[in-house]
Structure 1
Amino acid sequence: MKTVRIVLVVLAALMAGLFFWLWREASNQTKSLAEAPFGVPFSLTRQDGQPISEQAFRGKPTALFFGFTHCPEICPTTVYELTGWMNAVDPDKSKLQAFFVSIDPSRDTPELLGTYLSNVTDRITGISGDPKKVEEMARGFKVYFKKVPSDPAKPDGEYTMDHTASVFLMDKEGRFVGTIAYGENAETAQQKLKNLIARN
């Protein structure tokens, strides 16, 4: 009976040690992920035709969102509102930067994206490029998007895009900080941008 108790105590100690090790490894992995830059490396094209990579999301706090120029409501609203929020919290344009990645690069050439944005703002830089590379980049940033034919009977005809509508917020190291939801209260959105600036 005494031997059984000893075995049970040893087994309990081993199990406790194993659980502690697993917990510590999981904690370290979570910490590493939190400290790592958000998204994946990419090589795409700015609206001015110049190359751009994930390094553009370093050095300054960044607001990043994904959309397309044929978007009827969400994208133009986001461009307009984000510009206003940035002007309110960073009027001298020195503390924040913003990017709009097209998830419809087949139609949204860098030049077209630049024209679309320049009609509204000088605070947001457009990003487009090779459709396959854009898809890889967007998926790497955990963005949902899907082509939706206007007429299901004509899948190769006119279409729109379903997509994630949130603005991603990243610190100057490119790490994920949070989001601004579509339709977010203006005061809340501006406070999130102020908090983002204050982190850096």
Structure 2
Amino acid sequence: MTQPNRASTAKRPFRGAFVVLALIVVLLGAGFLVAHRYFGQPLAGSLQENAGADIGGPFTLVDQDGRTVTDADFRGKYMLIYFGYTYCPDICPTSLSRNADALKLLGAKADKVQPILISVDPERDTPATLKPYVAAFGPQLVGLTGTNEQIAAVAKEYRVYYGKSPSVKGDEYYLVDHSSFSYLIAPDGHFLRFINHTMKPEEMAAMLDQAIK
């Protein structure tokens, strides 16, 4: 009976492990390139590492009271911007609640911050829809919407990804896939940093306390 070649057999698991390792490296590299393309900066990092990135810019939108506002209307305050929508079932209310909790923990410095929700669902998020929604997260939160073109323009400025997700219940029940970061913008309009949605209120308040002068 012919005996199996032990040396050849021993190499097979090694080769399999090498292939798996190579695949992991490729996937990690692709993930980094996608992140760099959409955000232009590492998704994590200190305030100093993120500050000055080419993110943000002018916008003209409509608030929850139907008034036309621009980014210049918020000069002099730190803007805390979140891109979401009122029909969002989970991550939007969670992130907006976290932001509100962090501002409460911030104390007096919270007066220097203007929290803002910019809708990525302008077809459904009219000013009348936004008004009761933003009020649920405190009196400070401003809700902004606009035309499809206006929202696309501001999303491009902030490198925000968003798009309709197919619905199984009909066209009116669609969800919107979107980026889940909050953006901290300086009083002069310059981008300071991303805030990941996984950051805890206490951590966020400590970061804001350090950032706000």
Same topology, TM > 0.5: yes
> What is the Cα deviation at residue 151 of structure 1?
2.4
- The aligned amino acid for 2:103 is M
Could you tell me which residue of structure 1 aligns to residue 27 of structure 2? none
> 4+ residue stretches of structure 1 with deviation over 3 A?
90-93
Q: 1:177 to 1:89 in 2, by over 3 A?
A: same
**Percent of aligned positions that are identical:** 31
1:45 aligns with 62
Query: Which residue is 1:126 aligned to?
Result: 143
Provide the C-alpha distance between the structure 1 equivalents of 2:135 and 2:202, rounded to a whole number of angstroms: 25
Q: Deviations over 1:16-74 (max 9, x none)?
A: xxxxxxxxxxxxxxxxx9387x4232211011111111213421111101000011111
Indicate conservation of the 8 Å contact 2:102/2:201, yes or no: yes
Distance 1:149 1:35, change over 3 A: closer
Instruction: Give yes or no for the alignment of 1:137 onto 2:154.
Output: yes
Q: Structure 1: give runs of 5+ residues left out of the alignment.
A: 1-32
TM-score by length of 2: 0.70
Distance (Å, rounded) in 2 between the aligned partners of 1:90 and 1:113: 26
1:90–1:96 CA contact under 8 A, matched in 2: no
Distance between the aligned counterparts of 2:194 and 2:81, measured in 1?
A: 9
- Matched pairs, number: 163
| Counterparts of 2:58 and 2:79, CA distance in 1 | 16
TM-score, normalising length: structure 1:
0.75
Return the alpha-carbon distance in structure 1 between the equivalents of residues 62 and 99 of structure 2. 22
